[in-house]
């Protein structure tokens, strides 16, 4: 089945293509001629995920799935959450975002956090959402050069390496996105 993954983020496309390993043909937004920036106007991760997938399906008539992800830090009442990409401002700097989280946590011992992804699939016959969560801890300093976003400060529960210290293969086996995609794949098995 051909599916559009509604993102312009090359890292996400590569991660999903690696996880799907040829089971389905993944089209990028560029592949379907979508050049506009997809809006994320909702105040929840599931809301943004649905908004993007629904827009692409209605506008381009292509079965589509979209994700929205966020880092949810317990001591910050779930922030940055839906605002993870631009937590430190509109420049969307990974470094600035990490530094702001570290600064806000500098006086707390509670460093529990989770990455959360919600994927919405919209086709002619269905709309479904799939959620993946990866629990962990925010470290006091960055470790590792891999990954993207908050990966250098996130230590998954039960692991001694941050997501940024893991190989792409290791990360793809445990990531929040991989968990949501596994549910999507299971759903698509008979499609």
Contact 4, 62 (CB under 8 A): yes
pTM metric for this prediction = 0.88
Q: Is the omega angle on the peptide bond into residue 80 within 30 degrees of 0, that is, cis?
A: yes
Domains of the chain: 2-188 (3.90.950.10)
Question: Burial of 166 by CB count in 10 Å (0-12 exposed, 13-18 middle, 19+ buried)?
Answer: buried
CA nearest neighbour of 188 among 103, 143, 126: 126
pLDDT tens, per residue, the chain with 191 residues: 789 999 877 777 877 777 776 677 888 999 999 999 898 999 999 999 999 999 999 999 999 999 999 999 999 999 999 999 999 999 989 999 999 999 999 999 999 999 999 999 999 999 999 999 999 999 999 999 988 899 999 999 999 999 999 998 899 889 998 899 889 988 887 66
Catalytic residues: 68
Contact 128, 181 (CB under 8 A): no
CA distance 5 to 47: 16
């Amino acid at each position: 089945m051909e599916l559009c993954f509604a993102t312009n983020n090359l890292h996400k496309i590569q991660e999903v293509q690696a996880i799907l390993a040829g089971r389905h043909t993944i089209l990028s937004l560029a592949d379907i001629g979508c050049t506009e920036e997809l809006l994320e106007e909702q105040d929840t991760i599931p809301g943004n995920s649905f908004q993007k997938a629904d827009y692409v399906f209605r506008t381009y008539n292509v079965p589509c799935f979209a994700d929205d992800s966020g880092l949810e830090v317990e001591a910050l009442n779930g922030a940055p959450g839906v605002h993870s990409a631009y937590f430190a401002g509109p420049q969307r700097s990974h470094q600035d975002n990490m530094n702001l989280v570290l600064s806000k946590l500098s006086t707390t011992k509670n460093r529990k956090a989770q990455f959360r992804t919600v994927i919405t699939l919209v086709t002619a016959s269905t709309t479904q959402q799939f959620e993946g969560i990866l629990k962990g801890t925010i470290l006091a300093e960055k470790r590792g050069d891999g990954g993207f976003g908050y990966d250098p400060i996130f230590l998954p529960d039960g692991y001694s390496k941050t997501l940024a210290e893991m190989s792409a293969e290791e990360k793809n086996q445990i990531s929040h996105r991989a968990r949501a995609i596994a549910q999507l794949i299971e759903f698509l098995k008979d499609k």
